[in-house]
A and B are shown apart, each in its own frame.
Chain A
Amino acid sequence: MGSTSARTDGDGFGRRDLIKRSAALGLITVPTMSLLSACASGGGGSTDKVEKGKITKDNPLGVNETAPLDVVIFDGGFGQQYAIDAEKKYNAAFPKAPKVKHSATQKIQSTLQPRFNGGTPPDLIDNSGAEQMDMGVLVGKKQLLDLTPLMDAPAVDDPDKKVRDTLRPGVLEMGQFDGDPVWVMYYAYTVYGVWYSQTALDKLDAEYPQTWDAMLALCEKAKKRGIAGWTYPGKFPYYLPFSLYPFIAKIGGREVLDRIDNLEPNAWKDPAVKAAFEAYYELYKKGYILQGTPGMTHIQSQTAWTKGKALFIPNGSWVENEAAPTTPEDFRMKVAAPSGLDASDKMPFGTIWASGGEPFIVPAKAKNPEGGMELLRIMLSEDSSRNFTKQVKSLTAFNGGTDGLQLSTALQSAVDALAKAGQNVVNPRLQDWYVKLQKEQIGVAGLGEMMAGRATPAETIKKIQAFADAAAKDPSIKHYKHQ
């Protein structure tokens, strides 16, 4: 064993000198490197689009029949088979075009960000999952193509109808950010609400409660049998709005939610918000929330729910697939619209939150944008829609396509809930317009603290209003308004 210090004795030079000299060498090397390495955000601007094809009855978008098509699909809960099936139809429609270049990934942002920065994005993207690219920024930076030509094109199944008239309520509006252009086509259709097991309710001789008093009474009944009323993903408290926001709309009308989305001053101080928050806070105060809920993930809370430890959970229609591994055979999973507060509510029972999922985008710099839109048009046919529902047990943006399909209890209950809601479908936009505000500020810092009992409804409303005001003033955030 020797010493670890530098020797400075006599001839030769020590380690320290060596380090000094090599550092100097490094300094010389750095500037020369700049010539070799390309700048991360350089490039851009190449617009070698393919020529547009001839517009015919079968080719209303004018797709170039020989041009290649480049598609990137998010390979998540819905898989990618549905897209591959649609691509086969595209190739059948345009036999002269090469086979569609299909790729699927879970890492949308890391795969595609360099391509956007380099100006060579694909022609159609399913911009979904944890690595979703911020659509507000993409729109703001003019990276997306206006899909209005697609919306005005005739539908595949009925040439007399435009594509825009075949969509479910709210889907088209979701794709708009500022004015008429449609930037995003949401392909899946998600129903949010209060999820429960019909079997569990039957065991308590109970119906799904339509008013909050009935809800509290049912929770009390369950508590006596050692079952909690509610649970929610405490680690991701932004699941709570799935039933809370339509509850607010039911109490005070959909304008309340619109004002909240528009980040108007004092939007959160509306009496409807206060009433809804207090109702939910009562669940905590009366001990109807499953013990430990504030520390649970979505999977952990869903598992506790499928095990029958709690009756209700705010969730979206993906829960059927996600909780499938732990769901008992006789669970009979169902979704319902939130219970109302009382008879003075402005909207009827059945008012529910439903909106598009799986946002598809066509980049502004795509080489074959008509091809990308044409593939979307094919996907929005009844046949493709039915195929999607059959494969992944979810509805699509296409209004219909479920007749004659054998639906699961959960999916059937979602279809029924939508039928019951009719025009009373609300679509709060905070979660796609202001992700940080919705998830981190309203969800974790606001609702999460309130439902864990660490803040009162009044404090929470004040806190959330302050977050909303700050977001409204922040110049680095792009702002949107309901049309």
Chain B
Amino acid sequence: MQHGKYRFIVGFLALPLAMYALFVVWPFIQSIYYSFTDWTGLSPEFQAVGFGNYRRMLEDAIFWKSLQHSLWLVLLLPLVTLGLALFFAFMINVGGRRRKNAVVAGVRGSSFYKIAYFFPQVLSIAIVALLFQFAFNPNDGMINSALAAVGLDHVQPNWLGDPDLALYCVMAVLVWSTVGFFVVLFSAGMASIPRDFYEAALLDGAGRFTTFFRITLPLLWDTVQSGWVYMGILALGAEAFATVQIMTVGPGGPDYSTTVLPLYVYQTAFRDGQAAYATTIGVALLIVTLAFAAIVMRLGRRERLEF
């Protein structure tokens, strides 16, 4: 059965690969090409300008600010989201008190929590951002009204209008809308860990803390790693763009405190009519994304357990 195998595989792969090349690889190559021109995006005429756009990018303070915010999102978002998701998933599946008929069980009402956490995933990110825009309204929004209701009348932050808080408001929305997905993902992973491992650990007198770090996390490592890549791409891509574009001052403000790379690409291309410079920033974004994936894959490489 050895011969004909290649032909068999090629037969399956040719079409998807061709589509991938046409709709993913080719646009990448095109945009790299455009980054060396002065194309406006509004007329078919353009000229090659060499490295002009790249030189301009390196001197562009707003580009560096956007890069800094994007990197900050890439570091913090996965950490917070996955940390929370792991905690929730552990509590739902393993963290509960011991009951008579089961060795490990979730906290009381865990099946309800599972659905409640997943719920935001059903809403599109644009709707979530719009909802939180109302919640963050400093004058009569939900959050400040709640603060006033518990007697904190003098603590009425401007939230999105405050440069020190705005980026964290955006992060909070992204965490809120994505954490549920990872709770479900990790729950599925945890459910497949054999119960006897936990049983053995309990017999040895391990507490919840030890059980989590010695058993759950190592056996879940592959899932966490893919979650990390997924969250990072989300923090560099469309979701971060949508929340910043819809929610923030300007958008990107106040005073550039929330601008991120995809937003800067969008503004440069479609507001300023400088498509070529926008593709240059896009190339920078591509490099950041690739570097991020490479680092995560390398750091995350561990021995795998088979069970």
Segment touching B, from A188-196, A239-247, A292-300: A292-300
Report A223 CB to chain B, min CB distance, Å: 16
Number of A-B contacts (CB under 8 A): 172
| Chain A stretch 1-27: residues in CB contact (< 8 A) with chain B | 1-5, 11, 18, 22, 25-26
- Answer whether A448 and B255 are a contact pair too, CB < 8 Å, given A3-B304, A41-B44: yes
When A36-B22, A39-B30, A295-B138 are in contact, do A476 and B274 touch as well, CB less than 8 Å? yes
Cβ contact within 8 Å between A29 and B17: yes
A440 to B25 Cα, complex, angstroms: 34
The interface residues of chain A lying within 8 Å CB-to-CB of B45 are 44, 141
Cβ 8 A contact of A445, one of B25, B255, B267: B255
Complex Cα gap A143–B273 (Å): 13
Produce 1/0 per residue, B265-307, CB < 8 A to A: 0010011111001000000000000000000000000001011
Instruction: Determine which of B137, B139, B192 lies in contact with A1 in the assembled complex, contact meaning CB atoms within 8 Å.
Output: B192
B198 at the interface (CB under 8 A from A): no
With the chains together, A113 CA to B171 CA distance in Å?
33
A41 and B161 form a contact (CB under 8 A)? no
Against A, the Cβ 8 Å flags (1 = close, 0 = not) of B228-252 are: 0000000000000000000011101
Q: Are B161 and A234 in contact (CB under 8 A)?
A: yes
Is A30 a contact of B160 with CB atoms below 8 Å? no
The docked-state distance in angstroms from the alpha carbon of A393 to that of B238 is 38
Complex: chain A residue closest to B33, CB-CB? A39
CB distance from B150 to the nearest CB of A (A): 18
**Do A309 and B43 contact each other (CB < 8 Å), given the known contacts A3-B306, A134-B271, A444-B252?**
no
B187 at the binding interface (Cβ < 8 Å): no
Is residue A76 within 8 Å, beta carbon to beta carbon, of the partner chain?
Answer: no
What is the minimal beta-carbon distance from B243 to any residue of chain A, in angstroms?
14
Contact of B249 among A2, A309, A444 (CB under 8 A): A444
CB pair A436 B271 closer than 8 Å: yes
CB neighbours (8 Å) of A136 from chain B are: 273
B250 and A295 contacting across the interface, CB-CB below 8 Å: no
Contact of A291 among B2, B139, B159, B274 (CB under 8 A): B139
The answer to whether A1 and B9 have CB atoms under 8 Å apart is: no
Tell me, rounded to whole Å, the shortest Cβ–Cβ distance linking A97 to chain B: 29
Tell me the nearest residue of chain B to A140, going by C-beta.
B40
Given contacts A36-B22, A41-B39, A137-B40, contact A452 B17 (CB under 8 A): no
**Smallest Cβ-Cβ distance to A434: which chain B residue:** B272
Q: Is the CB of A296 within 8 A of B271?
A: no
Using A134-B271, A295-B159, A296-B139 as known contacts, say yes or no to A37 and B26 having CB atoms under 8 A apart: yes
Digitize A38-57: 1 where CB-to-B-CB distance is under 8 Å, 0 elsewhere.
01111111000000000000
Q: Mark A280-305, 1 if CB is under 8 A from B, else 0.
A: 00000000001111111100100010
> Which of these, B137, B192, B252, contacts A300 with CB under 8 Å?
B137
Min CB distance A477 to B, Å, is 8
- Report yes or no: B42 in contact with A143, Cβ–Cβ below 8 A: yes
Q: How far is the CA of A440 from the CA of B248 in the complex (A)?
A: 12
Residues of B within 8 A of A133 (CB): 42, 273
Q: Which residue of A4, A18, A134, A234 contacts B304 across the interface (Cβ within 8 Å)? A: A4
Contact B249 A40 (CB under 8 A): no
Q: Which of A116-124, A152-160, A268-276, A341-349 contacts B (4 or more CB under 8 A)?
A: A116-124
Q: Report B294 CB to chain A, min CB distance, Å.
A: 15
> Which residue of B has the minimal Cβ distance to A131?
B270
Closest to A26 in B: B17
> Which residue from B18, B21, B138, B248 sits with its C-beta under 8 Å from A292?
B138
Please pick, from A18, A117, A294, A444, the residue contacting B44 in the complex, using a CB distance under 8 A. A117
Asked if A296 and B272 sit within 8 Å, CB to CB, the answer is: no
Q: Is A96 an interface residue (CB 8 A)?
A: no
Could you tell me which residues of chain B, from 60 to 100, have a CB within 8 Å of some CB in chain A?
none
A167 at the interface (CB under 8 A from B): no
Q: How far is the CA of A470 from the CA of B274 in the complex (A)?
A: 17
| Cβ contact of A444, chosen from B20, B40, B255, B304, cutoff 8 A | B255
B40's partner among A33, A131, A141, A445 (CB-CB below 8 A) is A141
User: What B residues does A449 contact at CB under 8 A?
Assistant: 254-255
8 Å CB interface, A218-265 against B: 234-237
User: In the complex the two chains form, what is the Cα distance from A36 to B26 in whole Å?
Assistant: 11
B158 within 8 A of A: yes
CA distance A2 to B13 in the complex (A): 25
Q: Are B46 and A41 in contact (CB under 8 A)?
A: yes
Partner of B18, one of A33, A138, A440: A33
Contact B270 A137 (CB under 8 A): no
Q: Which residues of A contact B13 (CB under 8 A)?
A: 22, 25
Query: A34 in the interface, Cβ–Cβ < 8 Å?
Result: yes
B120 near A: Cβ within 8 Å? no
Complex: chain B residue closest to A449, CB-CB: B255
Nearest CB of chain B from residue A290's CB, rounded to whole Å? 7
In the bound complex, do residue A116 and residue B162 qualify as a contact, i.e. CB atoms below 8 Å apart? Answer: no
CB atoms of A30 and B21 under 8 A apart: yes
Q: Is the beta-carbon distance between A141 and B17 smaller than 8 angstroms?
A: no
Inter-chain CA distance A185–B43, complex, in Å, is 21
**Does B106 sit within 8 A of A, measured CB to CB?**
no
Which A-chain residue is minimally distant from B277 (CB atoms)? A476
Q: Nearest A residue to B30 by beta-carbon distance?
A: A40
Which residues of B sit under 8 angstroms from A294, Cβ to Cβ?
138, 158, 161-162, 249, 254
Kindly state the separation between the CA atoms of A142 and B44 in the bound complex, as whole angstroms. 11
Sampled A-B contacts (12; CB under 8 Å): A26-B25, A33-B22, A137-B40, A142-B43, A234-B158, A292-B137, A304-B139, A304-B140, A440-B267, A444-B254, A448-B249, A452-B158
- Please list the residues of chain B having a beta carbon within 8 angstroms of any beta carbon in chain A: 2, 9-10, 13-14, 17-18, 20-22, 25-26, 29-30, 34, 38-46, 56, 133, 136-140, 144, 156, 158-163, 192, 222, 248-250, 252-256, 267, 270-274, 277, 304, 306-307
Q: A22-B9, A39-B30, A291-B139 are in contact. List 17 more A-B contacts (CB 8 A).
A: A25-B14, A26-B21, A29-B17, A37-B22, A44-B45, A45-B44, A143-B43, A234-B249, A235-B160, A235-B248, A292-B158, A293-B138, A304-B140, A435-B271, A440-B267, A445-B254, A445-B256
